[in-house]
Structure 1
Amino acid sequence: MDFFILGMAANLNVCHGFLIKIMRSPVRIHSILGLAVLVSALVGCAPQTPYDRYKAGQPIQNFPYKAGTTPAETQRSVTDCQIEAAQRVPQQMVIQTTPSYTTPVQTQCNQIGTQTFCNSTGGDAYGGQTYTSDANAGLRVQAFAQCMGDKGYRFMNVPACPMGTTAADLDKSPVLRSFSRNTCYFLTESGQSAVGNLGE
């Protein structure tokens, strides 16, 4: 059975912008499990903490898995592929503007005696904000995934171990074994985490 203690952020409220910054800076990802959470954030934001997700029984998505590797080997592959992706797909910063619109102006008038009182509403402008983004960010993530695939990694969805699982429940093998139905991950509130197999 496989056993990995991996560093993990206690609170990971991740959105696209943060993930893109991570992908630009290969040295910033410090754990494989953390990387898996970040890659899964490509489909949107992750409002829950990793521990909240574990308690809810949610899997870790896109975990880079290769049987026979140690944590150090996997981390080295991740770093190498981040660097390769950054070199193959450099930044292409573009300036964009959000759509803008103006609400229609409506005027209502009331006559009281010989006097007319009018009140106008609307005419408010919305949108039109300018922002900068990296047009190549998505392609860079694809290049990273391709590089990891070339090294023999598969991005697996690792289910959560039953609540109450501890490090003692996993065989402390120094390398990952083949992915099986017994493979799962556990996470403590303090951030200790492990990926391994139960009951083998």
Structure 2
Amino acid sequence: MYIKQRLTAFSLVLLGVTSCGPLPVYYNSGKDQARTNSDEIDCAVQALSEAPVANEIRQRAPIYYPGHRHCGPGGCWSSPGYWVDGGTYTVDVNQGLRSQVEQRCMARKGYQRLELPRCSKEQVAALQSQPSSARRGAGLSENACAVQQSDGSTVILPPL
């Protein structure tokens, strides 16, 4: 039970750290954000056709908890040890290859992959107040940031 609690705590910390870290984006100074998102979808579809999902079910090793020796006023006794199933999980063995195919496709279209800091709440609020026609890439400044939309697309914002 203690191991599950530690794994859950570690997973939550890892999730928190990854949501605050930089956001990987593709950038080409000659293309607007809508075109970039369209090219990224095209490359993702191509990568999925060249390296389709190939899930494999794997099993973790079982865990053995040894018994304990207990002693009291009436004498000593031993509790037996026991095994706990390690559980199963699924792995997409083509995920790494699919990512490489997508990155290669985007590079052929003239994009470079960058990691930009995530935008602050103020920058996101400014984005939402703009009309959708104004959300095109305005060039990449030194203090640019990125935000991931609910549809999965990424928008690069110039600093406020």
Calculate the TM-score normalised by the size of structure 2.
0.64
Q: Secondary structure at the match of 1:102?
A: strand
Q: Secondary structure at the match of 2:15?
A: coil
Q: Secondary structure at the match of 1:73?
A: helix
Deviations 1:149-168 (A, max 9, x none): 22111222223567644358
Which of 176, 181, 189 does residue 137 from structure 2 map onto? 176
Q: Secondary structure at the match of 1:46?
A: helix
> Any gaps of 5 or more consecutive residues in structure 2?
1-12, 149-153
Q: Secondary structure at the match of 1:157?
A: strand
Matched-pair identity in %: 25
Q: Secondary structure at the match of 1:125?
A: strand
Deviations 1:40-73 (A, max 9, x none): xxxx9533796xx4xxxx5x42111111222321
Residue pairs, 1:10-49, within 5 angstroms: 45-47=14-16
Q: Kindly tell me the number of residue pairs found equivalent between the two proteins.
A: 138
- Shift of residue 86 of structure 1? 0.7
Q: Secondary structure at the match of 2:98?
A: helix
Higher mean displacement: 79-88 or 147-156: 147-156
Residue pairs, 1:116-155, within 5 angstroms: 117-155=75-113
Residue pairs, 1:39-188, within 5 angstroms: 45-47=14-16, 53=20, 60-108=22-70, 112=74, 117-159=75-117, 164-165=122-123, 166-167=126-127, 175-185=136-146
Hey, what does 1:26 align to over in structure 2?
A: none
1:81–1:144: 8 Å Cα contact kept in structure 2?
Answer: yes
Calculate the TM-score normalised by the size of structure 1.
0.53
Q: Which amino acid aligns with 1:140?
A: R
Q: Secondary structure at the match of 1:47?
A: helix
Pick 1 or 2: higher relative contact order, CA cutoff 8 A, min separation 6. Answer: 1
1:68–1:175: 8 Å Cα contact kept in structure 2?
Answer: no
